[in-house]
Chains A and B, each alone.
Chain A
Amino acid sequence: DAGVIQSPRHEVTEMGQEVTLRCKPISGHDYLFWYRQTMMRGLELLIYFNNNVPIDDSGMPEDRFSAKMPNASFSTLKIQPSEPRDSAVYFCASSPATAVIGGPDTQYFGPGTRLTVL
Chain B
Amino acid sequence: SQQGEEDPQALSIQEGENATMNCSYKTSINNLQWYRQNSGRGLVHLILIRSNEREKHSGRLRVTLDTSKKSSSLLITASRAADTASYFCATRTNDMRFGAGTRLTVKP
Binding site for B on A (CB under 8 A): 4, 33, 35, 42-45, 48, 55-56, 91, 93, 102-112
Which residue of chain A lies nearest to B88 when distances are taken between CB atoms in the complex? A43
> Are A42 and B33 interface neighbours, CB within 8 A?
no
Binding stretch for chain A, among B43-51, B64-72, B77-85 = B43-51
Contact of A91 among B2, B42, B94, B101 (CB under 8 A): B42
A-B contact count (CB 8 A): 54
> Are B98 and A105 interface neighbours, CB within 8 A?
no
B10-38 residues at the A interface, CB under 8 angstroms: 30-31, 33, 35
Given A48-B95, A109-B42, A109-B43, is A102 in contact with B100 using a C-beta cutoff of 8 Å? no
Binding site for A on B (CB under 8 A): 2, 30-31, 33, 35, 41-45, 48, 88, 90, 92, 94-101
> Are B31 and A45 interface neighbours, CB within 8 A?
no
Most buried by A among B2, B42, B96: B42
> Are B43 and A107 interface neighbours, CB within 8 A?
yes
Instruction: Please give, as numbers and ranges, the residues of chain B lying within 8 Å of A102 by CB-CB distance.
Output: 45, 48
In the bound complex, what is the Cα–Cα distance between A73 and B12 (angstroms)?
41
Which residue of chain A lies nearest to B47 when distances are taken between CB atoms in the complex? A102
Instruction: Please give, as numbers and ranges, the residues of chain A lying within 8 Å of B100 by CB-CB distance.
Output: 42
Instruction: Please give, as numbers and ranges, the residues of chain B lying within 8 Å of A106 by CB-CB distance.
Output: 33, 45, 48
In the bound complex, what is the Cα–Cα distance between A102 and B2 (angstroms)?
23
Instruction: Please give, as numbers and ranges, the residues of chain B lying within 8 Å of A105 by CB-CB distance.
Output: 30-31, 33, 48, 92, 96
Instruction: Please give, as numbers and ranges, the residues of chain B lying within 8 Å of A43 by CB-CB distance.
Output: 43, 88, 98, 101
